[in-house]
Amino acid sequence: MEEKTDKENPFDTVLLESLSVRKGPIRRQRLSWYYAPSFLLLWLALFYAIVIPLYYKLPDRLTISDESLHPGEFVAERAQKQLFTYDRIGPKVTGSYANEVTTVEFLVNEVEKLRAEMRSDLYDLDVDVQSPTGGYVFIDMVNMYQGIHNVIVKLTSKSSPSESYLLLNSHFDSKPGSPGSGDDGTMVVVMLEVLRQMAISPTPFEHPIVFLFNGAEENPLQGSHGFITQHKWAANCKAFINLEVGGSGGRDLLFQSGPDNPWLMKYYRLHAKHPFATTMAEEIFQSGILPSDSDFRIFRDFGNIAGLDMAQVDNGYVYHTAFDTFENVPGRSIQNSGNNVLALVRAYSNASELYNAESDEGHAVFFDFLGLFFVYYTETTGIILNCLIGVICLVLVGCSVWRMSRQSVEVTLPQISIWFLSILGLHVVGFLLCICLPLLMAVLFDAGGRSLTYFSSIWLVFGLYVFPAIIGLVLPLTLYYTLRPSIKLSHAYHLQLSLHAHLVVQALLALILTAMGLRSQYLCLISLIFYGGALLINLLSTLHDRGYYWTLIVMCLQVLPFSYFCYVFYMFLVIFIPVLGRNGYNTNPDLIVALLCGVCVFFALGYAAQLINMFRWPKLILLGLGVVTFVFCMIAVSGVGFPYKPKTNVMRANCLHTRRLFYEFDGSVSRSDSGYYFNYQDRRAFDPLQDSELNLTGLEAVANNCDDYVMCGIPCFYYSWCKWRQWDGWLPRESEVIIPGELTLEYLGKTVLESGTIARLEFELSGPPHMNLFIQPVGSAKVDNWSFVRKMLDEPEEFQPPYQIFHSYGTDNSSLKFFIDMEKSDGDFNNPTLELAAVGHWVSYEYERDAEAKDFVASFPNFVHVMEWPSIFKRYIF
């Protein structure tokens, strides 16, 4: 019989190959390119179906009529009624009658109403109206205050002997022109309702609770300093909850904790009704990127106590504007905050840890997962988890690479390892492009004068920054898969290697962040757990070796991390974008948004985006994303990209109608003029106003006078204004600005001290409730001593002249007496030694503006919110 050849008996060949131990992988044809848009839209759909609903989820508002059905629960309707009364008081600037008298009376009356309802058989209620005077160094200025007001309430269980108090804080003052119903009226009424619920509760608590309603937070942080350094109850406060609002509404974000004392986070995890927190927010806030601060700093630094810092963060567009009103505060947001605060107060007021004044060492890593539950562990535990999970994931990658070599006939383990290292290198390039392409877009838009195009249309960030980040992340490996000469290893395996490369990059990133002491590395940990889990399932189930079937497990396990990362970074966009409209002229805000989007893509789509290469013609897919990016760019430079809208997304402008007087050494006036001083709030300065009815003819840069006068000759208000003063503007005015009061700096005399090289200059300052002193030594002279806090003089490496002294008062308008000791090595004090400027600010609307200034402010377009007041600048040479 004739023997058949192999070609004539294909069945036997197939059978032999199937029995071979080292069989080649089954080669699967890639999916058609037109499935790719559906793949990309799937992730967009998940964002809107999961992330957005969970982010904006709020509890129903509890009404007074329903209170009997919900005993012991926070009642938002009652708090809203109090907020309505608070709102109608109007702006509450420190030093104004509305703040120092009317609002104080409102708070005292509300507490007295509560006294009639409380369980007087169980509790004692003490009320104190404090009027502290003090000073401290805040950032770059000496911050002084006198006669401001705090309303302080202490609720104590009669049965408790505890001398350890829980402190609850909010502030009732507001920015000029703003009723402050969000910041911080919302938290004021939340505290009132929490006080009521605790006072009527049939269950006593262990530790007394101090409710601090402070009246000078916006000044900044003076009220809390006055309490924690001077009040009789302050020394007993062992923990605190600080309540803030960074906008109007939304959920209350826990964005600072500690320092140390991880037990605070343990209690938050156990008792917070609606957890919303992330370590990443804490590290970003404490880095100083945001132009904000809170009373948390004061309690931590001056009281040496630990606590929580919580704030509502939505709708930051109305923050510190005239639109921060009762109507813009959702009742469900008040309910959300009230539920959380009431539960936490009940927990902390019974915490045994309050008896131990010593702090536990170590920070906490904490975050909520889509608002569904809260995760907390110590920093030490985080380091162990990072190392352990990282090693396990790297071992799984090694097992995967070994498995590929065993399943592939034509390649060896060293060959696959070399290819993997090549893919890893290209993925690092992709990671850099993922960050750099959005940053490049930010630079280009800023160079074209088109920054903040997303300010009113947040959806523009998809085309401007998210799609370029995806292109950058995928492009290097897409080109590699297109151009690679060898097909010995299946494309499905190659694709797995690209995902393994992302895991290795994240593992290395986690180690680097851990070494830097950053707790935000928990983001890498989440990614490693979910992809490592998918890889383990695929290895155990052999889906690892069955074409592209392994992608099903990867995609299913990527839904949760994708949702979480989008949730977190969407939160940061909601916070940052309104903030960037008041971040100043000197920085490009688009860089921050671009960086957030790039990092979000890296974490949320780092694995899924590489699956674009599973489809045919992936370069065409990336080209499509590029075309969409171009379309978004065209939309952004059109009218749609104009950043501002009246009432809802306003442009901010600080305008001080100013009179200036420059006195020389002989007492003569060398210059006397008036004008409008502008502190620019956003990157575009006044460019958007050029085509409006506002007359800006003659507008010049403040920097032109910085070499001639102390502090450039302008009445900058806070340290933040003064720090970037060279970016500000000055518009001369022909007629003299009418000042609604007097500012007097009286020179009391000079005394040469015994050393002969130091002369003491004595002064007395009187004027409006907000004043500045700017101190600049002349020539070789230097400031040796003064009557203010000495810290700035004792740390010359950190603080350099000109020195800023900020002074404000409430109802105590007595003059400020001070001295400055000037040192000159030659002892010649017959020549100038000191340039001193005194500045007065009539901030409150209780002071009249002159008619021309009113008309000028009224000529701003309706999309601009102007914070304005009269000021006077007097410069002297001594």
Q: pLDDT for 583-601, tens place per residue? A: 888 889 999 999 999 999 9
Nearest to 644, CA basis, from 599, 593, 582, 592? 582
* pLDDT for res 35: 86
Q: How far apart are CA 189 and CA 203, in angstroms?
A: 23
* pLDDT for res 29: 66
DSSP code for 768? S
DSSP code for 878? -
- Residues 6 or more apart in contact with residue 787 via CB below 8 angstroms: 817, 818, 819, 820
Conformational region of residue 370, where left means phi above 0, alpha means psi within -120 to 50, and beta covers everything else: left
**384 SS3 class:** helix
Q: How far apart are CA 9 and CA 436, in angstroms?
A: 58
Q: pLDDT for 275-322, tens place per residue? A: 999 999 988 888 777 767 899 999 999 999 999 999 999 999 999 999
Beta bridge partner(s), residue 700: 730
Return the ∠ at Cα 740 (arms to 734 and 743), rounded to 5°: 95
Q: How far apart are CA 562 and CA 560, in angstroms?
A: 5
Per-residue burial over 629-650, b = 16 or more CB atoms within 10 Å of its CB, e = otherwise: beebbebbeeeebbbbeeeebb
Q: How far is CA 863 from CA 261, 326, 644, 653, in A?
A: 46, 20, 6, 11
Nearest to 366, CA basis, from 285, 279, 282? 279
Q: pLDDT for 801-839, tens place per residue? A: 999 999 999 999 999 999 999 999 988 899 999 999 999
Nearest to 866, CA basis, from 220, 89, 175? 175
Q: Determine the number of helices (DSSP H) and then strands (DSSP E) in the chain.
A: 24, 23
Contact in structure between 702 and 730 (CB atoms under 8 Å)? yes
* pLDDT for res 360: 64
Contact in structure between 777 and 783 (CB atoms under 8 Å)? yes
Q: How far apart are CA 94 and CA 109, in angstroms?
A: 20
Q: How far apart are CA 45 and CA 274, in angstroms?
A: 25
Return the ∠ at Cα 130 (arms to 126 and 135), rounded to 5°: 145
Return the ∠ at Cα 179 (arms to 175 and 185), rounded to 5°: 95
Conformational region of residue 406, where left means phi above 0, alpha means psi within -120 to 50, and beta covers everything else: alpha
Q: What superfamily does domain 64-370 belong to in CATH?
A: Zn peptidases (3.40.630.10)
Q: How far is CA 194 from CA 58, 291, 342, 834, 848, in A?
A: 19, 30, 6, 53, 39
Per-residue burial over 249-262, b = 16 or more CB atoms within 10 Å of its CB, e = otherwise: bbbbbbbbbbebbb
Contact in structure between 375 and 366 (CB atoms under 8 Å)? yes
DSSP annotation string for 317-344: GGTTSTT--GGGS-HHHHHHHHHHHHHH
Conformational region of residue 841, where left means phi above 0, alpha means psi within -120 to 50, and beta covers everything else: beta
Residue ranges, the chain, pLDDT below 50: 1-27
**Hey, where are the domains in the chain?**
64-370, 380-641, 651-877
**143 SS3 class:** strand
* pLDDT for res 24: 44
What are phi and psi for residue 771, nearest 5 degrees? -140, 155
Q: How far is CA 714 from CA 667, 678, 695, 731, in A?
A: 20, 10, 21, 11
DSSP annotation string for 163-206: --EEEEEEE----TT---IIIIIIHHHHHHHHHHHHHH-SS--S
Q: How far apart are CA 239 and CA 259, in angstroms?
A: 11
**360 SS3 class:** coil
Q: Is it true that the peptide bond before 183 is cis, omega within 30 degrees of 0?
A: no
Contact in structure between 818 and 787 (CB atoms under 8 Å)? yes
DSSP code for 684? T
Return the axis-axis angle of helices 279-286 and 550-580, rounded to nearest 10°.
30
Residue bearing tokens 């813009």: 328
- Residues 6 or more apart in contact with residue 655 via CB below 8 angstroms: 676, 677, 678, 856, 857, 866, 867, 868
Q: How far apart are CA 3 and CA 401, in angstroms?
A: 42
Chain-centre distance for alpha carbon 23? 56
Neighbours of 723 (CB within 10 A): 16
Nearest to 433, CA basis, from 628, 606, 567, 568? 606
Can you give the C-alpha Rg of the chain in angstroms? 32
What is the pTM for the complete model shown? 0.92
* pLDDT for res 820: 97
- Residues 6 or more apart in contact with residue 835 via CB below 8 angstroms: 709, 710, 775, 776, 777, 778, 875, 876, 877
DSSP H or E segment with residue 439: helix 413-447
Q: How far apart are CA 287 and CA 270, in angstroms?
A: 28
Structure tokens at 25: 């992988």
**433 SS3 class:** helix
Q: How far apart are CA 188 and CA 338, in angstroms?
A: 11
What are phi and psi for residue 311, nearest 5 degrees? -150, 140
Structure tokens at 257: 């904790």
Q: How far apart are CA 539 and CA 600, in angstroms?
A: 28
Nearest to 783, CA basis, from 805, 765, 758? 758
Q: How far apart are CA 32 and CA 29, in angstroms?
A: 9
DSSP annotation string for 685-753: TTGGGTTSS---TT-EEGGGGTTTSGGGGS---SHHHHHTGGG-EEEEESSPPPPSS--EEEEEEEEE-
**Distance in Å from the first CA to the final CA of the chain:** 124
Structure tokens at 795: 């740390």
